């Protein structure tokens, strides 16, 4: 296992051999992965060195100081935050070798085919079917609220492989090729005017059995790895003090004294404290991640993040008065990256409404926290042991 000194020396030696100023960015990223400096906590040969997760900051600091290109992490966040940890933990050696490198370099973008029109909050009720046909699975169904599907090369997919079992048991986990002719992506226009989300129709899509992650029927268990990592990725991102939405508000407060009132000042102070508590809690969660896998704590982070983002975006509009009601960019576009702080207050207010839905609705996350963190009795579930095909839909 490499230590801090070794990692710093390794990174500097890598930079000496791959000058960022004279190396094609794509070639630089591929070489960085091969050198084990992509995810230092991943195994050797898969972008890492088997080091502690916390040592990644050493590598990132050296590369940033040298002006090295990054892999545009916001654009490939689903691959980095959801697909990669799932493939690493549950995939075969061949799947890890095939998918992790182009995923990390950003050459192949990933999306997530989980939610369905009739199975959003109750994901285990999903109806998309996968039927075995020789060495392939034939998939038919519909998915919804799929971020960046319009730019994705691959998708992580949950499909029902045995409708005769209870809903949590008859699900399997696949990697779906989004360029298959049976995959149709349609935009979903949001209240912001944009269409960053999509609905995806799957008609006779053939997925080779080699692209199944884990055993048949183990999809729900494997999906927990994805979902726990997703909630951490959304709610537990590293931010500097006074970063993100609270930073935008604080800047407006300092630069625009004519906007100030006592009541708004009190609300701003509360928001600042809540943002700092959330930031420090995120730091503690990332320290826990350095020695293990994410658990239900990520649900609390994501829940708090959604609530705070909506409160601060509403305060942002109120602080700016009539100016805050304006929204200059209400146009039909297909963004691949969501930019909160670089847009006007009207956009931030509208887009924040989705924070309590994406990555698991706030209602579901409260159930997760109640049952898995606080140990409270589970809600009655009369359909838990019934075969999925007998459920009313």
Please list the active-site residues: 230
SS3 121: coil
Tokens of 73: 């992490």
SS3 130: strand
Which of 245, 178, 187, 254 shows the shortest CA–CA distance to 211? Answer: 178
* 18, 84, 140, 352 from 144: Cα distances, Å: 42, 22, 14, 19
CB 102 within 8 A of CB 108: yes
CB 304 within 8 A of CB 279: no
**Alpha-carbon distance 300 to 289, whole Å?**
15
CB 296 within 8 A of CB 228: yes
Residue by residue, DSSP assigns 15-33 as HHHS-TTTS-HHHHHHHHH
SS3 347: helix
Cα 187–122–362 angle (5° rounding)?
80
> Helical H runs in the chain?
4-17, 25-34, 56-65, 77-78, 84-90, 93-105, 219-235, 245-255, 262-289, 297-320, 345-352, 362-368
């Amino acid at each position: 296992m490499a230590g801090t000194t070794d990692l710093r020396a390794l990174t500097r030696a890598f930079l000496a051999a791959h000058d960022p100023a004279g190396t094609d960015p794509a070639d630089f990223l591929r070489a960085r992965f091969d050198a084990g400096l992509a995810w230092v906590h991943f195994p050797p040969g898969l972008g890492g060195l088997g080091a502690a997760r916390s040592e990644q900051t050493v590598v990132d600091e050296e590369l940033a100081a040298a002006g090295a290109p990054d892999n545009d992490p916001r654009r490939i966040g689903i691959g980095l935050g959801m697909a990669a940890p799932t493939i690493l933990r549950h995939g075969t050696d061949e799947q890890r070798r095939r998918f992790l490198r182009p995923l990390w370099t950003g050459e192949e973008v990933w999306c997530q085919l989980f939610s369905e029109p009739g199975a959003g909050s109750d994901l285990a009720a999903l109806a998309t079917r996968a039927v075995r046909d020789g060495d392939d699975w034939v998939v038919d169904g519909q998915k919804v609220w799929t971020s960046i599907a319009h730019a994705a090369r691959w998708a992580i997919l949950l499909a029902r492989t045995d409708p005769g079992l209870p809903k949590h048991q008859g699900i399997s986990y696949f990697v779906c090729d989004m360029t298959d002719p049976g995959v149709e992506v349609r935009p979903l226009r949001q209240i912001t005017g944009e269409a960053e989300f999509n609905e995806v129709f799957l008609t006779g899509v053939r997925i080779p059995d080699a692209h199944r992650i884990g055993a048949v029927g183990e999809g729900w268990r494997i999906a927990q790895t994805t979902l726990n990592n997703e909630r951490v990725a959304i709610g537990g991102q590293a931010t500097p003090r006074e970063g993100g939405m609270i930073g935008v508000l604080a800047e407006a407060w300092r630069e625009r004294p004519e906007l100030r009132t006592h009541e708004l000042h009190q609300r701003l102070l509360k928001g600042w404290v809540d943002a700092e508590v959330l930031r420090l809690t995120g730091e503690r969660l990332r320290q826990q991640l350095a020695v293990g896998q994410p658990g239900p704590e990520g649900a609390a982070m994501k829940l708090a993040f959604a609530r705070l983002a909506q409160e601060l975006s509403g305060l942002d509009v109120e602080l700016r008065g009539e100016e805050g009601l304006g929204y200059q960019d209400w146009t039909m576009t297909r963004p691949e990256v969501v930019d909160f702080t670089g847009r006007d207050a009207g956009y931030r207010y509208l887009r924040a409404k989705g924070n309590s839905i994406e990555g698991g609705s706030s209602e579901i996350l409260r159930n997760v926290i109640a049952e898995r963190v606080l140990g409270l009795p589970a809600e009655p579930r009369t359909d838990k042991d019934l075969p999925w095909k007998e459920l009313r839909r």
